[in-house]
Amino acid sequence: MDMSGIAKKLGFSESKQLILHAAELRRLADIQFDSSIIGIGEICKAIICLEIAASRMEVIFDHHAAVKLSGLFEKAYNRSFNSMQNGIGIKKKLHIRELAIQFGCIRLIPFVQKGLSLYKDRFIASLPTSRKASTDIMRPVFTAAGFYLCAKRHNLKIDKSKLIELAGTSEYEFSSVSASMTDLCFDVFGKTKEKRDSKEDNGNHDVLPEKRRVDDDGPLSDDGEERLACMKRKQMEKHVLEE
């Protein structure tokens, strides 16, 4: 099946520019990437090229339909997608609208957009002047983390593992970015925690406030909060600047 035939099955029979771009990516993949290494056939390769092209052209793409057509399980498809994209040297993009459609949370779009914009301004402002120009916070992990935090704030259940996989990141980096976002933009990403049961609170009296874990719901002292915020910012700066 040629690229046009596959595009038609995915609802892109009239999108000539998209098909041409996907065909170019497929030729590039034939030269630079050995798809046999990850065990995918020509049809799956073409489908992945169509999805990459759609992402680059900011065209809404039905990920579920692509996975079904590929004949792979979703995790295998996502791994193949990330491997192939990296193999041909294309930077991954993750769009808020695509995530909202895929997870059925359309109403989150404006909240995520507002949160990411606010986080970008605040994070850049916290960096030394020498680092501001080279800092990239547009990577997929930021979009994914912002989307997840907004969903959590609005009491919507999101498959965190699936989101991490779509972002092509690790759980550690995802957690670090989420912590930084919550720290700098609690007003849009944070969620007021319920009061702990008095019995649970009693179990924390033997732990110094400033030494409690990040995920502990107990109150921190002023010094502890300041120290924790500083640690989060340093971890996040390290992740961003290493990319």
Q: What percent of the chain has pLDDT over 90?
A: 37
**Ramachandran region, residue 153 (left: φ > 0; alpha: ψ -120 to 50; beta: rest):** alpha
Closest CA to 164 of 213, 83, 99: 99
Q: Is 42 within 8 Å of 79 (Cβ atoms)?
A: no
User: What is the pTM (predicted TM-score) of this model?
Assistant: 0.55
Domains of the chain plus CATH, in order, are 3-87 (1.10.472), 96-242 (1.10.472.10)
pLDDT band at 239; cut points 50, 70, 90: low
Instruction: Taking residues 21-26, report their average pLDDT.
Output: 92
